[in-house]
Amino acid sequence: MPPPPLPLPLPLPGRPMPLPPPPQRHVVDAPKDPKFKTPQRQLFEFWKEFHHQAPGKVTTILPRDLYKTLVRSHHSTNDPSVRNAAASYEVAAEACKAKVASIVKHCEMTNEKFTDPDFDIQKEPFDCLHRLEYAYPHESSSEASGSGSDSDSDSDSHGRRVSAKVRAKKKRSIKMRGEATKMPSNRRVEGKRSYGDAETVYYGSIHRVDWIFDKPQFTIDGYSASDIRQGSLGNCWWLAAVATIAHRQDLMDKVMVARNEKCGVYGFVFHRDGEWVYTVVDDNLFLTNADFTHYGDTYDPSGKLAREHRKTNQTGSRALVLGSCEDENETWLPLLEKAYAKVHNDFTSISGGFAGEGVEDMTGGCNSYLFSSTVLSRDRLWKELLNESGEFVFSLGLSSTGWEYSRGGMATGHAYSLLKAVEVEGLEGEKLRMVKIRNPWGVRNWMGEGEWTGPWSDGSAEWTSYWLEKLDHKFGDDGVFWMTFEDMLDHYEELNRTRLFNNEWTVAQRWTSAGVPWVTGYLQKKFIIEVKTGGLCVVILSQLDERYWKGLEGKYMFELYFLLIKEGGNAEDIAGRARCHTQWDSRSISCEVNLEPGRYELLPKVVAVKRPGGHEVVRVVKTMADINANKLRQVGMQYDIAHARPGVADQDEIMEEERAKRKRKEDMRKKKEKENEKKVNEKQKVEDKKRKALAARDKEKEKKRIERVNKKKAKRRIQRLKRIEAKAKAKNIAKKEKARKKEGAKAEAAADAAADAEVRKESTPESEKDRVLVKKEDADEAQTAKPEADQAQGETITDSADVKTTKEAKPDSEAEEQESETEKGTQGADEPLEPLEPEDSKKATNEEDLEDGNECSKSKVDASEKKDEKEEEEDDDSDLDSSTESEVSSDEEFGSDGWSSSSSESESGSDAEECFENEIPSGWNPVVVLGLRCYSKDKELRVTVVDPEDPKENTAATLAAEASLTGDSAPL
């Protein structure tokens, strides 16, 4: 137990009460370890690495230059934003008819039936049946069953490890089954239910229509929902869509535009991403059973066994593996299913979906999802179901809790067709709202699931002869049943309503791409809708249909939302809004609003989630390019065609532009270097010319100086000789005078003789001395003249008056002063001259000085050029970061692994490019392609895209704007 606190001292009289001391705070010193990171710092670095500032998306799978014209031909070069709603269909239908006519002409010329080279199920049955990821070597069995696992499987069924080559070979092996081979338990032809996206389709043989059917007919008594039977593929959603429009002859004829049954060619038209596309197929179909001789030869001399086998197992609609018609000789459904599978690359790509999407694909309408629990006015919905004007078609969806297989006799997790809605009057005058519904299975399954078992079901007490005649109903296991409108809303949670458009409607369409932030909110990028004439407007925000390139979807799935407000409006000006209900049904969202003339802003909101088991597109392409190149080419072409849309940022073109920009920059740098080199060379030439001129001038001056020196030396030599002669004469005269004075009075003859003798005696050595001096002077003169002749050899010149010669000639006055000073020396004329500096050494010295100066000037020029290049590259890099952040990331975003841009773009461009191609960025970098279609009867309807001023704002969430528009801070 702690001791009690000490009492406070009592205050002294006249003084205030003392305050208690403040409590001591416990301060934790930060660790001195430089590697220590606080939790906040760690979190900051995590978000910095996780949330990229440069979102990226692959927009081109195959090299664009290989098929540039082919991809561009799928999209009009004119402005596609505004056109009549039926214009695109007319173009596709005419092209389809022309294609079929051309094929028929060729078949008649070659006497050969048509074989589709792009979807040849005889040559490539595996690729035509299965999606791209079926040959993916890293796909585990759990992923193939739809669990979404991303683990790799390197073992066979017995746990033995096998090589990647063997696994790929097993993946590509053709799965065939004969008479005794059984389908998997959950892959039944009758009453099939698909659990998951991925499934394997088994078949026995492949034959043409005229071989399978005894009397094949494309249609018998027209199209009907009762003709439809589902096969061993989980495409009940699409069959429900077909059954929904089968009673409309005009809609079915719109899909099947041309055929020639004799040649085996059929042309169909489908709606894809806001545009109509056509395709042609041959009449080869998959059969359940193999040929009689498939497993070996059998003794059958009469052929009876073979005929019985064919009649029993390979004849009629029931012999088909996939969808078929109820009539044994009707062929329209399997051929339509094949055409729909072809535009999606294979059959398993159309497994799993929503019936409303299928109706959209075959009618070009706008699908919207209604939940029965949220219907505001049932009377209004009933009027739409009656569909007196033919503007709507409906289908139904029955969801599953995961614990049940049926509800009220109807299979859950399944799509149904709403064939008819009628309001009939009973015998007592009561009015009933009745709906006619059909199950695409056509029959109940082995558990009795498939049809309604409540009131008004087959055999129930409600049916009387009156009602059977009134509703024209017959009991039977045909998948068709009746129920009341109220029971339909109570049991079916989802209604798919598709609005149809005719040539009275105008459609305006725009596509764009945007990065999706991790923190959700409305994007800065928005659409502007301009309405000239008020009225009903159907606004559709969609993303590209990933079903056309299954296997290349990438890691992310997107949920779409949008708000439609008056331009510059606030929370009170919301004209409409739409949202997706789940991440699986967000191919498109829409709303129908009555808009007054004016401009409206559509603010998109996109939520990205990681796809279960999703692979990076780069990883899939690198793997499949070696394993199954043909399938990759097929799917990659569809991927590239979908992304080659006006308004969608093409990363391939961006990289090409960046390469061109770097090349231009490199060319400019080289050009600048050449110009600088040229300037330096010209400057060098000028300097060389000046140097040569200076050298010539110096040489001329030196020559003149030497001439002056030699002249002065010669003059001095002559003067010395004259002085010597004068001295000798004076000395002789003096001696003579002295001798005459000395002899005195001698006799004139004796004196003259003695004087002559004395003169001869004394003059002989003097003359020899003079000759020696003259020889010495001649030698000096020869030495002086020799450097003039041998200046190139650098010989020296001696002179008693010269000290060291400098590089420039001294004035004459200085030379004279030197000469006078030299003459005063003790040596006199005999003192040797200082050697002159050779001309070549002076020239070399001048050249070295000039070269040193050139090097200094050149280094200054190079330094200034490098400085200019650095500033120019920094400007270019800033532009590059703001315009093309999807290709090159900064060092802060990708770390120091070679992704950052260096100071020299030309040196690091190839390395950064190689890193971009070989490395897959991690973290959060989703990009979504958004398209806005707006239908109205206003022919001047316009749709435009508004990009943010700063490209980085494209991924910035506007949470404050969202709160002001929605009235609260909660997400839409």
Question: What's the chain's average pLDDT?
Answer: 74
Residue 570 is a catalytic residue: no
Which residues neighbour 717 within 8 Å (Cβ) at sequence distance 6 or greater?
777, 780, 781, 829
Matching residue, tokens 């299965």: 130
Residue 236 is a catalytic residue: yes
- pLDDT bucket at 363, cuts 50 / 70 / 90: very high
SS (H, E, C) 62-93: CCHHHCHHHHHCCCCCCCCCEEECCHHHHHHH
Q: How many CB atoms lie within 10 A of CB 749?
A: 8
269: pLDDT strictly greater than 70: yes
Which segments of 825-936 are extended strands (E)? 927-936
186: pLDDT strictly greater than 70: no
Among the listed residues 52, 414, 615, 643, the single catalytic one is 414
pLDDT digits (tens, 9 = 90+) for 911-961: 434 443 444 446 788 889 999 999 999 888 999 999 887 655 554 444 444
- Assign 772 to helix, strand or coil: helix
Architecture of domain 365-497: Alpha-Beta Complex (3.90)
Among the listed residues 96, 107, 128, 236, the single catalytic one is 236
pLDDT recorded at residue 298: 82
- pLDDT bucket at 486, cuts 50 / 70 / 90: very high
pLDDT digits (tens, 9 = 90+) for 836-861: 444 444 444 444 443 444 444 444 44
Residue 203 DSSP label: B
More confident residue, 763 or 223: 223
Q: Between 651-743 and 748-789, two packed helices, what is the crossing angle to 10 degrees?
A: 180
Break the chain into its structural domains and give their ranges.
89-146+159-353, 365-497, 506-648+921-966, 650-706+772-846
Among the listed residues 439, 496, 628, 925, the single catalytic one is 439
Name residue 415's beta-bridge partners: 397
pLDDT recorded at residue 909: 42
More confident residue, 831 or 576: 576
Highest mean pLDDT among 74-88, 207-221, 607-621: 207-221
Dihedral, CA of residue 958, residue 959, residue 960 and residue 965, to nearest 10: 90
Least confident of 27-31, 347-351, 638-642: 27-31
Residue 271 is a catalytic residue: no
Highest mean pLDDT among 98-112, 295-309, 432-446: 98-112
Residue 114 DSSP label: -
Q: How far apart are CA 654 and CA 657, in angstroms?
A: 5
Which residues neighbour 143 within 8 Å (Cβ) at sequence distance 6 or greater?
149, 150, 151, 198, 613
Least confident of 10-24, 206-220, 226-240, 385-399: 10-24
The answer to whether 394 and 249 are in contact (CB under 8 A) is no
- pLDDT bucket at 201, cuts 50 / 70 / 90: confident
pLDDT recorded at residue 628: 87
* Cα four-point dihedral sign 714, 720, 723, 727: negative
pLDDT digits (tens, 9 = 90+) for 920-934: 446 788 889 999 999
Q: How far apart are CA 314 and CA 298, in angstroms?
A: 18
pLDDT digits (tens, 9 = 90+) for 588-606: 999 999 999 999 999 999 9
Q: Between 839-883 and 651-743, two packed helices, what is the crossing angle to 10 degrees?
A: 160
Least confident of 169-173, 177-181, 360-364, 965-969: 177-181
Closest CA to 711 of 784, 652, 627: 784
Closest CA to 954 of 559, 645, 513: 513
pLDDT recorded at residue 762: 56
More confident residue, 871 or 467: 467
State pTM to two decimals. Answer: 0.67
Q: How far apart are CA 390 and CA 420, in angstroms?
A: 12
pLDDT recorded at residue 339: 96
pLDDT recorded at residue 539: 95
pLDDT digits (tens, 9 = 90+) for 870-907: 444 444 444 434 333 333 333 333 333 333 333 333 34
